[in-house]
């Protein structure tokens, strides 16, 4: 299976850190390797949303963009109450929902994740709380970690009017709390559709936990989820495709 290209962390020290942590990561066989031990990533003590009314039904859908979709998907696959988390594209047109085109930064798409969840077990507001606490830095426009461009922006795509109200109220609540040194730039954008990404992107964190980009950027987010939200953490991820 082809390994998609991602920018690795610049700098000799970061490269040495990755090699020390994962050894010969890039030469692993297709079999799933053990996940390296990592420290938790940054945790923002985001409060529970003040506005978070219950949703009806047994299934609801949230669409979130928070930088590279490998890590966003990987985190939500470990959230209890999530039925599926699919990497893909949102914000642009169906005909431009292609990895190479989206990577040009000209399509309007953001790398996004469609989260299908049971609202009786986890609320939309809690999904947003996890997003702001451990998934994405909401203060960096068109950038997350080493990735640059509008396709890596932080954005929320509400799929219902109620979700839109919750997202707008929560951003206002977090802005008033001044938890970050810089203003929140995460946008609540109109939902125009979601388009699943190519097969090789799905379950990337789970299938390749020793891949350098994952070790440095994304496994710490999963560990931060475990530490900050123990009641919402599930050890075994829910995956798009069967593993093995």
> 199 catalytic, yes or no?
no
Buried-exposed string 87-123: b where 16+ CB fall within 10 A, e elsewhere: bbbbbbeeebbbbebbbeeebbbbbbbbbebebeebb
Do residues 147 and 137 touch, judged by C-beta distance below 8 A?
no
C-alpha distances in Å from residue 58, one per residue of 53, 75, 116, 242:
15, 22, 10, 23
β-partners of residue 65 are 155
Q: Report the alpha-carbon distance of residue 183 to residue 140 in Å, rounded.
A: 9
Do residues 111 and 101 touch, judged by C-beta distance below 8 A?
no
| Residue 112 token pair | 């996004």
Q: Report the alpha-carbon distance of residue 76 to residue 126 in Å, rounded.
A: 11
Do residues 64 and 113 touch, judged by C-beta distance below 8 A?
yes
- Catalytic residue (one of 38, 68, 85, 238): 68
Catalytic residues: 68
């Amino acid at each position: 299976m082809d390994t998609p290209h991602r920018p690795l962390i610049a700098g000799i020290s970061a490269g040495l850190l990755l090699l020390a942590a994962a050894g010969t990561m890039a030469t692993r066989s297709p079999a799933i390797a053990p996940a390296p031990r990592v420290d938790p990533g940054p945790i923002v003590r985001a409060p529970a949303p003040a506005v978070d009314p219950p949703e009806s039904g047994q299934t609801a859908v949230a669409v979130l963009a928070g930088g590279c979709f490998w890590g966003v998907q990987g985190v939500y696959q470990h959230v209890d109450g999530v039925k599926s988390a699919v990497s893909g594209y949102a914000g642009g047109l169906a005909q431009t929902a292609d990895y190479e085109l989206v990577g040009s930064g000209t399509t309007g798409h953001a790398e996004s994740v469609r989260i299908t969840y049971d609202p009786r077990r986890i609320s939309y507001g809690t999904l947003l709380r996890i997003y702001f606490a451990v998934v994405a830095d909401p203060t960096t426009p068109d950038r997350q970690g080493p990735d640059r461009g509008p396709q890596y922006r932080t954005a929320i795509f509400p799929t219902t009017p109620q979700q839109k109200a919750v997202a707008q109220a929560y951003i206002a609540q977090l802005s008033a709390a001044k938890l970050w040194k810089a203003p929140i730039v995460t946008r609540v954008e109109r939902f125009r559709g979601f388009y699943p990404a190519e097969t090789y992107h799905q379950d990337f964190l789970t299938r390749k936990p020793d891949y350098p980009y994952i070790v440095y950027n994304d496994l710490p987010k999963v560990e931060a989820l475990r530490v900050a939200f123990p009641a919402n953490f599930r050890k075994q991820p829910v995956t798009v495709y069967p593993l093995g």
